[in-house]
C-alpha cells in the first residue's frame, strides 16, 4: 500500500486516502484438494479435513464437479466483482489438483483434468508418483506436473511413511522413468519436484536425483506442523538442507512455514475454501461454495494477496 501523500491546498491540509497497488501476476492458482485418501501414509500428511453433512467427496458427482469448476472459474475470471481484484490482476487461472492422492480417482481424474481444461483453466497435478499409468493418461491435459519426492532412500521413505501397504516406495529409477514417460507424452509439460524437508530427510543429499531428473522447478518446503509436530525441523536443519543444494538455486523455490500461511487459495474435497487455523492445529472452513456461491464462501476465510504475490514471484 502506498504511503499517504499530504498536500497543502489553499491552506487546507489534505491527506489522500492510501492507494492500493494492484499487483500484476500472470496466473491465479486455485488448489483443489480433490480427495483425502492416499495409498501412502506420510506422518506429517496435511490431508485431513473435517467431515461435513455431505457424505461423499464432491468429485463423485459429475454435475457438482462441473458446477464447482465453472463457478470458481467465472468468479475469479472477473465476470462479476471478486474479493481479490482490488489487490491483484491476472491473465489466466490454473487449477492445481492435489489430495490425498488424486490418481486414486483413476478415470475420473482424467475426466476432471479435461473438463477443467475445457472450461478455461490451465491445469496442474500434484501426485506421489505411485500410479504411472494414470499420470501418463492425464499428461496431455496438464500444463504442470508436481511430483512429491522427499527422499530416494527406502529407509528414509519408510521412516516418513511415504510408502504403500506392501512397503513399495519410489526409487530414483522409478522417478526418472516416470518423468521420461510424461515428457514423451507431452513435450511442453513443466516438471516440478516438491520436497518437504522434515527431521528424517533433512540430512539427505538429493543432488543426483535433481541432476538426472532435470525438473523445471524444485520446490523445497519446510514441514508445516498443521496436523502434527512429528517430523518437524529446526531452522538449522532446514538451512543446512538448502545450503547442501545451493548448486540448484536457479530452479529452487523455498517455502518456509510463514510463506505458506494464507498464501494459497485452497478448496477441500467437499467443496469448501479452507485455510490453516492461526490459533490452533487444523483448518478453518468456508460454507460450501455450491450452497452459498463463491463470493460469500470466500469471505469466510483469510487470504493474503501480498503473500500470494511474493510466493508467486519467487516461482517465476
Cβ distance to ligand SF4 smaller for residue 65 or 198: 198
Across-strand partners of 221? 196, 255
Q: What are phi and psi of 190, to 5 degrees?
A: -95, 135
* CA–CA separation, 303 and 262 (whole Å): 5
Return the residue of 68, 94, 99, 270 that touches ligand SF4, per CB under 6 A.
99
Q: Is 101 in the site for ligand SF4 (CB under 6 A)?
A: yes
The dihedral formed by the CA atoms of 265, 270, 272 and 277, expressed in degrees to the nearest 10:
-80
Nearer to ligand SF4, 101 or 143 (CB): 101
β-sheet bridge partners, residue 284 = 275
Binding status of residue 38 toward ligand SF4 by CB under 6 A: yes
**Least separation in angstroms between CB 163 and ligand SF4:** 9
Residue 128, interface with ligand SF4 (CB under 6 A)? yes
Least separation in angstroms between residue 196's CB and ligand SF4 is: 7
Instruction: Please count the residues of this chain forming the interface with ligand SF4, following the rule CB under 6 A.
Output: 12
Q: Is 179 in the site for ligand SF4 (CB under 6 A)?
A: no
Binding flag, residue 103, ligand SF4 (CB under 6 A): no
* Residue 93 vs 128, nearer CB to ligand SF4: 128
Closest contact distance (angstroms) between CB of 252 and ligand SF4 is: 20
Angle between helices 62-76 and 107-119 (to 10 degrees): 30
Question: Which residues ranging from 147 to 166 are in contact with ligand SF4 (CB under 6 A)?
Answer: 148, 162
| Closest distance to ligand SF4 from the beta carbon of 300 (Å) | 25
Binding segment (CB under 6 A) for ligand SF4, from list 33-41, 60-68, 77-85, 296-304 = 33-41
Which of 45/179 has CB closer to ligand SF4? 45
- 294 near ligand SF4, judged by CB under 6 A: no
Q: How far is the CB of 151 from ligand SF4 (least distance, A)?
A: 12
Beta carbon of residue 312, minimum distance to ligand SF4 (angstroms, whole number): 22
* Residue 200 in the binding site for ligand SF4 (CB under 6 A): no
Q: Rounded to whole angstroms, how far apart are CA atoms 194 and 207?
A: 14
Segment near ligand SF4 (CB under 6 A); pick from 14-22, 96-104, 178-186, 256-264: 96-104
Q: In the bound complex, what is the minimum distance in angstroms from residue 43's beta carbon to ligand SF4? A: 9
Q: Binding to ligand SF4 (CB under 6 A): which residues in 41-70?
A: 41-42, 45, 47
Residue selected from 73, 76, 84, 100 as contacting ligand SF4 according to rule CB under 6 A? 100
**In the block, which residue shows the cell 506392501?**
166
- Residues that bind ligand SF4 in the complex, under the rule CB under 6 A: 38, 40-42, 45, 47, 99-101, 128, 148, 162
Amino acid at each position: 500500500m502506498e504511503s499517504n501523500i499530504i498536500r497543502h491546498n489553499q491552506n487546507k491540509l489534505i491527506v489522500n486516502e492510501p492507494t492500493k497497488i494492484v499487483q500484476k501476476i500472470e496466473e491465479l492458482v486455485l488448489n483443489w484438494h480433490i480427495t483425502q485418501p492416499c495409498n501412502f501414509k506420510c506422518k506429517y500428511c496435511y490431508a485431513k479435513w473435517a467431515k461435513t453433512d455431505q457424505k461423499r467427496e464432491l468429485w463423485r458427482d459429475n454435475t457438482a464437479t462441473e458446477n464447482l469448476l465453472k463457478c470458481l472459474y467465472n468468479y475469479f475470471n472477473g465476470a462479476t466483482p471478486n474479493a481479490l481484484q482490488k489487490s491483484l490482476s491476472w491473465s489466466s487461472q490454473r487449477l492445481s489438483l492435489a489430495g490425498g492422492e488424486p490418481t486414486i480417482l483413476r478415470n475420473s481424474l482424467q475426466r476432471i483434468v479435461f473438463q477443467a481444461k475445457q472450461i478455461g483453466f490451465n491445469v496442474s497435478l500434484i501426485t506421489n508418483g505411485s500410479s504411472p499409468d494414470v499420470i501418463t493418461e492425464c499428461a496431455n491435459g496438464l500444463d504442470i506436473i508436481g511430483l512429491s519426492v522427499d527422499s530416494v532412500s527406502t529407509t528414509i521413505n519408510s521412516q516418513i511413511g511415504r510408502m504403500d501397504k506392501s512397503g513399495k516406495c519410489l526409487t530414483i529409477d522409478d522417478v526418472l522413468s516416470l518423468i521420461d514417460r510424461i515428457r514423451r507424452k507431452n513435450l511442453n509439460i513443466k516438471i516440478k519436484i516438491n520436497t518437504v524437508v522434515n527431521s528424517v530427510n533433512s540430512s539427505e543429499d538429493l543432488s543426483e536425483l535433481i541432476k538426472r531428473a532435470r525438473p523445471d522447478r524444485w520446490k523445497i518446503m519446510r514441514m508445516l506442523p498443521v496436523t502434527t509436530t512429528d517430523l518437524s525441523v529446526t531452522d538449522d536443519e532446514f538451512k543446512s538442507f538448502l545450503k547442501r543444494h545451493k548448486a540448484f538455486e536457479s530452479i529452487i523455490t523455498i517455502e518456509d512455514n510463514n510463506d505458506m500461511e494464507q498464501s494459497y487459495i485452497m478448496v477441500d474435497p467437499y467443496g469448501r475454501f479452507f485455510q490453516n487455523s492461526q490459533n490452533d492445529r487444523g483448518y478453518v472452513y468456508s460454507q460450501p461454495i455450491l450452497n452459498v456461491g463463491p463470493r460469500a464462501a470466500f469471505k469466510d476465510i483469510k487470504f493474503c494477496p501480498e503473500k500470494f504475490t511474493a510466493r508467486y514471484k519467487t516461482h517465476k
